Amino acid sequence: MSYKTVIKGARVVTSSGATECDIGINNGVITTLGLDLKNGENIIDASGLIALPGGIDSHVHISQPSGPGIEMADDFHSGTCSAACGGNTTILPFCLPEANQSLREAVKVYRNKALDQCMTDVSFHLIIKDTDPVTLGQDLPALIQAGYTSFKVFMTYAGLALTDRQILEVMSVAREHNAMVMVHAENEDAINFLQDRAERAGKTDPYHHAITRPIPVEREATHRAISLAEIAGVPLTIVHVSNGEVMQEIVRARQRGLTVFAETCPQYITLTANDLDKDGFDGAKYVCSPPPRTSEEWPKIWAGIEQRTFDLFSSDHCPFRFASAAGKNAPGARSNFRNIPNGIPGVETRLPILFSEGVVKGRISLERFAELTATNHARLYGLYPRKGAIMVGADADIVLWDPDKSKQIAQANLHHGSDYTPWEGFEVKGWPIRTMLRGVTTMLDGEPTGAPMGEYLIRRAPII
């Protein structure tokens, strides 16, 4: 047997455990896992390194319409360069229709934005903000059929938040056509009540973004979303869970026999609401929803990561520039947190943070790391077994990690379009040094390599 590429000597995290072996690759696919493979046109010496499945970040926002005058900091090229440099081979951004734009039209526009730009493979989740008969009766079923097998509904934000009835209607389409509903669970009325009260008291600095979205706002909405899913008879995924009380809702639902999946993100184990209280206007750099909580929540989130309350660890990369009127310094943002665009960059730092804090510090195994960062994303969003695991027949999406490389996270070394990182100076041990997409190196020693070769992925039904 001869191979286009052989990766030799790595500790390989396969779907059935970690083992030392060689990986043989032909036509972009893993064809052999074995000992002492020979006849490789390219031989990559990976001794001392760990081979993990390419990261799948199933929660990122790229080039998403964000209101008049506001612009996301990443397009598909910069966003996927950043993703590849952070050890990712697939990203799943959200497709949000503009006002008066159909879902089908929005998908076309997004596909064109991504075309020939991507350093990772890509597919979109749909955001459902209209529930008219054409959207739910025609467009959505057709799009699910075409491979868009997951969509997000919001319980907050003017113009996006759906009523309970609307959420039930969306869930019932998911049930009929075998798709996954993702929920942003925060109670819009409660937030507005608290924001109006804060505003009347003159409390309009970035810190009050966090104060006006307290834990009960997220807990109540999570409980309601789960109840609605129970009524509609569908599984669901609760995205960006920030605290222990929400985790308890998820655990209780599972004890009742419901199928609920849960995602958390690096910000909920490393940042706190006090970061939004930084000097001057710097707190705006950390404004995201749900907001980071207190450090007392961190061990609870870690317990959920370790004990499988969480299925997914994603970035929620939602990048804006700080020094820009199209970003965090939007008109009126300094005088009222309500005008600060919501979101933080993180597609490049998600994996190093979890590797360092999780694997290196002994909280999780390499196998669990692979599940949380790749395998479960592939299964829930219809990409498995082509993606998400190092196994024969899968795409050769492989990342080589140097487990001993220590680094300080620094904006100067990142590739996203944002002009800051919330993790400036954060110390990590372990860093991806080569990313391979379908057998081709897309990042080497911290820099993107080669032309954009990302493909558009047609997804299947979730594996529940």
Q: Which residues bind ligand DUC (CB under 6 A)?
A: 61, 184, 240, 288-289, 316, 318, 342-343
Which partner in ligand DUC, Zn ion, none is near 82 (CB below 5 to 8 A by kind)? none
Q: Are 452 and 120 in contact (CB under 8 A)?
A: no
Which residues, listed in sequence order, are joined to residue 33 by a DSSP beta bridge? 23
Q: How far is the CB of 264 from Zn ion (least distance, A)?
A: 12
How many CB atoms within 10 Å of residue 21?
21
Shortest approach of ligand DUC to residue 61 CB, angstroms? 6
Lookup: tokens for 85:
């440099």
Q: Which is nearer to ligand DUC, 61 or 223 (CB)?
A: 61
Using CB distances below 5 to 8 A depending on partner kind, what does residue 342 bind out of Zn ion, ligand DUC, none? ligand DUC
The span of 245-253, 277-285, 314-322, 417-425 binding Zn ion (CB under 5 A) equals: 314-322
Residue nearest Zn ion (C-beta atom): 184
**Between residues 11 and 59, which has the closer beta carbon with respect to ligand DUC?**
59
Sign of the alpha-carbon torsion through 327, 328, 329, 333? positive
Residue in the structure block whose two tokens are 């959505």: 140
Smaller CB distance to ligand DUC: residue 288 or 457? 288
- Any contact of residue 188 with Zn ion (CB under 5 A)? no
State in Å, rounded, how far the first CA of the chain is from the last one: 37
Q: Which is nearer to ligand DUC, 148 or 384 (CB)?
A: 148
Applying CB under 5 A, among 22, 205, 297, 316 the residue interacting with Zn ion is: 316
Q: How far is the CB of 301 from ligand DUC (least distance, A)?
A: 17
* The two structure tokens encoding residue 426: 């954060």
Residue nearer to Zn ion on the CB measure, 310 or 431: 310
Residues 6+ apart with CB under 8 A from 90: 54, 55, 56, 57, 120, 121, 122, 123, 377, 378, 383, 387, 397, 457
Q: Which pair of structure tokens corresponds to residue 415? A: 């590739």
Quick one: 25 or 347, whose CB is closer to ligand DUC?
A: 347
Q: How many residues bind Zn ion (CB under 5 A)?
A: 2
- Of 154 and 401, CB closest to ligand DUC: 154
Min CB(314)–ligand DUC separation in Å: 9
CB of 342 to ligand DUC, least distance (A): 4
Measure the CA–CA gap between 340 and 211, rounded to whole angstroms: 15
- SS3 call for 259: coil
| Cα 43 from Cα 64, distance rounded (Å) | 40
Q: Minimum distance between the CB of residue 273 and Zn ion, rounded to whole angstroms?
A: 18
Smaller CB separation from Zn ion, 121 or 316: 316
Q: Phi and psi (nearest 5°) for 153?
A: -115, 150
For Zn ion, which stretch binds (CB under 5 A), given 36-44, 119-127, 181-189, 398-406?
181-189
What are φ and ψ of residue 3, in 5° steps?
-130, 150
Say which residues have a Cβ less than 8 Å from residue 95's Cβ, sequence separation at least 6.
Answer: 103, 106, 107, 110, 124, 125, 126, 127, 148
Residue 184 found at the interface with Zn ion (CB under 5 A)? yes
Q: Give least dist CB 247 to Zn ion, A.
A: 17
State residue 385 phi and psi, 5-degree precision. Answer: -95, 10
398-408/427-437 β-pairing: antiparallel
Q: Which residues bind Zn ion (CB under 5 A)?
A: 184, 316
